[in-house]
Amino acid sequence: MRRHGWPTRAWHWLNLLAMAVLFMSGLMIFNAHPRLYWGEAGSEAGQAWLDLWGDDGLPFPGWITIPSAYNLADARLWHFFFAWLLALAWALYLGWNLRRGRLMREVLPRRADLAPAHLWQDLRDHLALRFPRGAAALRYNPLQKLAYAAVLAGLIPLVIVTGMAMSPALDAALRLTVVLGGRATARSLHFLAAGGLVAFSAVHLGMVLLAGPVNGLRAMLTGWYRLPKEPG
């Protein structure tokens, strides 16, 4: 069955590339001051709600950062370029989905999806690794809808807006830090939103591996998906 159109597949792989580079360059930027605060500004260790500045040096090693050697200026260049790629790809994909009505039809949860009994059953099926069979495998289940909606309408726009707020030029024009409650708050929210995207990606990858990586990868490369057989 045809499962993914080319815009979905293109956005998926562009997103993967952009988020990988943003994550690794973001860790290098975080290494410059591995503490997080709330409010307008913060610099003292006692004011931080998160402090990863240990006695052994930088909290994140070079094998997981871009660049691998400490260089804040280069990390910012990498981060800024791929941030625009992420934002542009998200805006185009969101616009395409809204124009086709796909978000309302397939991604946004319906009232029945949010019924506690329905959510509880879906959670039990996931924990027991009971995956949909037949034509049901082509539809998003309630937990998938909630996760994808949270990413598309929550985490990605939040990470974009908070990133813009930390840019002096953009913040001077848009005054985003005033709306967000301060530059330090914007940085903290940016860190939390990025962490949410990493957590989603880890769970997403795990579910793909458990549900059948070959079938899932083929669908995201070619668009075609082999329906799992109905029981019996």
Averaged pLDDT, groups of 10, the chain, 232 residues long: 86 94 96 90 75 80 93 95 95 89 82 87 86 74 89 94 92 90 93 95 89 85 80 56
Kindly state whether residue 43 falls inside one of the protein's structural domains.
Answer: no
Kindly state whether residue 65 falls inside one of the protein's structural domains.
Answer: no
Identify the CA nearest to 60 among candidates 93, 34, 92, 36.
34
Q: How far is CA 107 from CA 1, 68, 224, in A?
A: 19, 38, 19
pLDDT recorded at residue 44: 63
Are residues 186 and 162 in contact, defined by beta-carbon separation less than 8 angstroms? yes
Structure tokens at 44: 């003292």
Kindly state whether residue 227 falls inside one of the protein's structural domains.
Answer: no
Kindly state whether residue 83 falls inside one of the protein's structural domains.
Answer: yes
Kindly state whether residue 73 falls inside one of the protein's structural domains.
Answer: no
pLDDT recorded at residue 232: 54
Kindly state whether residue 153 falls inside one of the protein's structural domains.
Answer: yes
The whole-angstrom separation of Cα 151 and Cα 94 is: 11
pLDDT recorded at residue 185: 93
For the chain, the residue count is: 232
pLDDT recorded at residue 89: 94
pLDDT recorded at residue 230: 63
pLDDT recorded at residue 55: 67
Enclosing domain of residue 148: 6-17+79-222
Kindly state whether residue 157 falls inside one of the protein's structural domains.
Answer: yes
pLDDT recorded at residue 81: 96
What is the 3-state secondary structure of 76-143? Answer: HHHHHHHHHHHHHHHHHHHHHHHHHCHHHHHHCCCCHHHCHHHHHHHHHHHHCCCCCCHHHHHCCCHH
Q: How many domains does the chain have?
A: 1
Backbone angles phi and psi of 139, in degrees to 5: -105, 145
Kindly state whether residue 149 falls inside one of the protein's structural domains.
Answer: yes
pTM, full prediction:
0.87
Pairing of strands 50-51, 35-36: antiparallel
